[in-house]
Amino acid sequence: MVRILLADDDANVRGFAERALSGEGHVVVTADDGADALRQLESGSFDLLISDLDMPGVDGFELVSRLPGRLSGLKVLLISGHAEELKRAAGLPPGRSATLSKPFTLQQIRGAVAELLAR
């Protein structure tokens, strides 16, 4: 069973992605911003972090940069509706991270997660 932390300030995106991934048998914990995601990461164990890049306060880039050292093996899927942010995210370690453009379909989020977890 894969444990996923999903951080996005848009409740619609969070709900859609949570339903899509829960339907695949994953355990999905949600966070409505980066600060909440950091708290969840400190108190729980996760295999994958899915984070929006554009959130108020702690954004996706800062969230990834502040991952505790013990979470260095955590895989990360960064999502954004802004092409420039996705270009910046392309510099992250390719074996452990990927990007997905918003809006995405059910098949796209499920496929991106499956591909990243298979690495």
Per domain, the residue ranges of the chain are 3-118
CATH topology of domain 3-118: Rossmann fold (3.40.50)
Give pLDDT, residue 70. 59
Which stretches in the chain have pLDDT values below 50? Answer: none
The two tokens of residue 38 are: 């950091």
CA angle, residues 52, 53, 55, in degrees to nearest 5: 80
Q: Are 77 and 98 in contact (CB under 8 A)?
A: yes
Interatomic CA distance for residues 33 and 56, integer angstroms:
7
pLDDT of residue 28: 99
Give residue 68's pLDDT.
66
